[in-house]
Structures are given as structure tokens and as C-alpha cells.
Structure 1
Amino acid sequence: MRILIVEDDAGLREVMSRVLSEESYQVDEAADGEEGLYFAQTGVYDALVIDIMLPELDGISLIRQIREKMMDVPAIFVTAKDSVDARVEGLNAGADDYLVKPFALEELLARVRALFRRNRGIDTEMTLRYGPLVLANHEAIVEGQHVNLSAREYALLEYLVLHKGQILTREQIFNRVWGIDTEAVGSVVDLYVHYLRKKLSAFGLDRHIRTIRSVGYTLREE
């Protein structure tokens, strides 16, 4: 699961990022609203955590622009404003939840988990199944045998399984698995698909990953 944090307080942003990363979420960070909008438009995220009082572009304007572009990624506002009017304004603008500063980091984690369950029907501790393949707790198992995957290979396989039957562009895969803030280049997608196919070949699953010429890849329906 990939989360974008848009927060101008560097200390708070770093703490939130660390805590979410420790829970195995992939986290990108933006320090102002304009940067946050760029990340949201060019990346693939499962959730947004947005401060309302942001430089360049405030959080209310940010979420409105995101929603105007028909992006339905769930979002939590974090803010020091605790009035009913402020909460109503944020929710009406397109946020799904509201967290008032100062807050316990355990509450942030709980609200993120609840957001996934409520808005996407996804359990953050879910088990994914694809034929004989089981993905759970960052482990891939086929008929009782562990598939030795790196963290990046696992993230790639998880993304393919979550979107089986869909054609995913190389850009979508790159943004989801590697993120915006990376020194990697787009060609790394082809390299890791090669790695993944090689490791799945022992189980006869490599042929299920189809190459869509000049576009990307798809994991065929079971």
C-alpha cells in the first residue's frame, strides 16, 4: 500500500512517514500543496494524508483539485483546526476523515486502516490469492513452498494480483512500486518483471504475466 503525506512541518512529516513505513506502507512525502498535487497526479496512491494549512496551495484547494480530476483516492485531513465548521468544510471538499493535531500516532495508524476498509474494501492485513499463489504478511507461498522474493518483487507481484485482468502501463507500475521520489529509471520495470517471471517459472506461473507491446503488462484472469 502506498501513501502520500502532504505536510509542511518537516518534523511531523518525518515522524508520520517513519511510523507508516514501519507498518510496511510505502510512503512518499510532499512539503507543500503544489508538490502534493504533482505527486497525486503522477503517482498511484492508496491513501493521502494532507495538512490543511499548506504553503503554495492549501489542503482544501488541493483536495478539491484532486476530486475535480476524478481521482477517488481516500484522504485524511490533519489540522490544528478543531471547529465544527472547519471539519465540515474539509469533508465537503472531498476528504474522507479528519484528524486534529496533536494526535497520537496510534490513532493515525488506526484511521489509515479504517480508511482502507471503509473506502476501498481492503483489509490492511489481507491475504491475496491467485490460483495456487498466496500473498500474506509480505510472503509469497505456492502450495506450501515459499517463493524467495525481494521487497520490490513482492510489491510488483502484489500490484499485479490486485489488478489482475487489467492492463497496467509501465508508468503506472513504476509510480506504484518505485514511487515518484526515486533515482530509478522506467526501464527497471522490465528488469523486475523478468526477475519475477524467472522466480515464478518454477511454479508454472510465469506465463500468466503477459507483455502488452509498447504499453506494459497484465496478469491474466485465473
Structure 2
Amino acid sequence: MHILIVDDDTGLLDQLKTALTKKQYEVDIAENGEQALDKIFDVPYDLVLLDIMLPRMDGLSVLNEVRKAGIDMPILMLTARSDVQDRVKGLDHGADDYLAKPFSMAELMARIRAMLRRKGNRTPMLEAGPVCLDTAKRQVSLNGEEVHLTAKEFSILEFLLHNKGSAVSRFNLAEHIWGEEFDPFSMSNYVDVHIKNLRKKLTPHGKNPIIKTIRGIGFIIDEQV
């Protein structure tokens, strides 16, 4: 598997390259956005680790250019802890996931493995029963009719559909959507409110909701809906 790491922190670049090389990944590096874009247009990478704060061209601009060119390689955004809006923008503009700095190497490796597993079965369409989510067009439909979701609702639904058939805990869902800014004490009802609104929008009259609650754990979109 061929991975590109893009970051202007040379110390972190060396650390990540060494760790990934030990795991038998083939690794290239880039220290600015322009260099990253040149490499991405030249090499069919299996995965890109892309920092947002970059010289010459920032990570979000690189992401936009890559997606505009129709390149659908998995991209994991690396963000600072406080850059919540950048994380949301990244997901809304086609990033597959994000990881807040500083992060543990074990968590990074787990994210990489998960993204590479999904790559083999990568499709722009995610479906469950009458619900269809188009990851490329950022659109959701119910029985063929478009459903308008907020950015947060879309991200929650996309994350649950990527994990269809598996339980997702409230904490993991909140961490994925709100990142390190999520406070379990002051924001404890945020997830439930968004799930409630999603159910209203995605449940046909008289039908069971596709998003089911697993008491004491979290939520699941079951294969059998």
C-alpha cells in the first residue's frame, strides 16, 4: 500500500514515515500543498494523510482540487485540536475522516487500517433500506426523493452508514463529528437531538426507523431494515 504524508512539520513527517515504513507501507512525503498536489496528480496513492495548515497551498485547497479532478483516493485530514470548523469543512468537501493533533500512533494506525479496508469496497453510494446517501454529491434521498439535512446530520448519517451493521457508541459518534471540542458534560444531549431529527426526516410514515438505539451503547443502522 502506497501512502502520501503531507505536513510542514519535518519532525512529525520523519516520525510518521518511520512508523509506517515499519508496518510495510510504501511512504512518500510532501512539505507543502503545491508539492502534495503534484505528487497526487502523478501517483495513484492508496491513502493520503493531509495536514490542513500548510505553506503555499493549505490542506483544504488541496482537498478541493483533488476532488474537483475526480480523484477519490481516501484522504485523512490532520487538524489542530481547536480547528473544529476546519474539520467540518474538510468532511463537507470530501475528506473521508480526520484526526486531531496531537494523536497517538496506535489511533492513527487503526484509522489507516479502517480506511484501507473500506477502499477495497469504495463506492460513492451508501444505502440502507429506502435511504440512499451519495458521498460525491453530498445528497440524501428517501424512496428516491431528496431529503435536506444539515451538515452535522449528513456527517452523522454518513458515519453510521459507513459502519452499517455495527454498533457505534455515542462517544465515538460525538468524537467523530465534534472532535476534541466535544464536552460530555455540557453537550451530552447533542447527539440524541441530532439523531431524533434524522429519524424524523428519514422514517417513512408507519415504518420502523433505520437508526436504532442500543440501550447503554449507542446507535446502529441495521442491515435488516
8 Å CA contact retained: 2:79, 2:87: no
Task: Report percent identity of matched pairs.
Answer: 44
Structure 2: give runs of 5+ residues left out of the alignment: 123-225
Question: How far apart are the structure 2 equivalents of 1:81 and 1:87?
Answer: 10
The Cα offsets for residues 128-156 of structure 1, whole Å up to 9 and x where unpaired, read as xxxxxxxxxxxxxxxxxxxxxxxxxxxxx
1:86 CA drift (Å): 2.3
Q: Which residue of 1 aligns with 2:41?
A: 41
Q: Which residue of 2 aligns with 1:100?
A: 100
The Cα offsets for residues 27-77 of structure 1, whole Å up to 9 and x where unpaired, read as 000000000000000012000000000000000000110011100000001
Question: How far apart are the structure 1 equivalents of 2:35 and 2:24?
Answer: 24
8 Å CA contact retained: 2:79, 2:86: no
Find the residue that maps to 2:103 and give its secondary structure: coil
Q: How big is the alpha-carbon RMSD for the aligned residues of Structure 1 and Structure 2?
A: 1.3
For residues 32 and 83 of structure 1, do their structure 2 counterparts lie closer, same or farther at Cα, with a shift above 3 Å needed?
closer
Count of residues in Structure 1 that have an aligned counterpart in Structure 2: 122
1:83 CA drift (Å): 4.5
Amino acid at match of 2:106: E
Deviating beyond 3 angstroms after TM superposition, the runs of 4 or more aligned structure 1 residues are: 81-84
Find the residue that maps to 1:44 and give its secondary structure: coil
Q: Which residue of 1 aligns with 2:54?
A: 54
Matched, 1:30 2:35: no
8 Å CA contact retained: 2:3, 2:28: yes
Amino acid at match of 2:42: T
Structure 1: give runs of 5+ residues left out of the alignment: 123-222
Q: Which residue of 2 aligns with 1:65?
A: 65
Superposition TM-score, scaled by structure 1 size: 0.53
Question: How far apart are the structure 2 equivalents of 1:84 and 1:63?
Answer: 17
Amino acid at match of 2:73: V
Question: How far apart are the structure 2 equivalents of 1:7 and 1:86?
Answer: 16
Question: How far apart are the structure 2 equivalents of 1:119 and 1:88?
Answer: 22
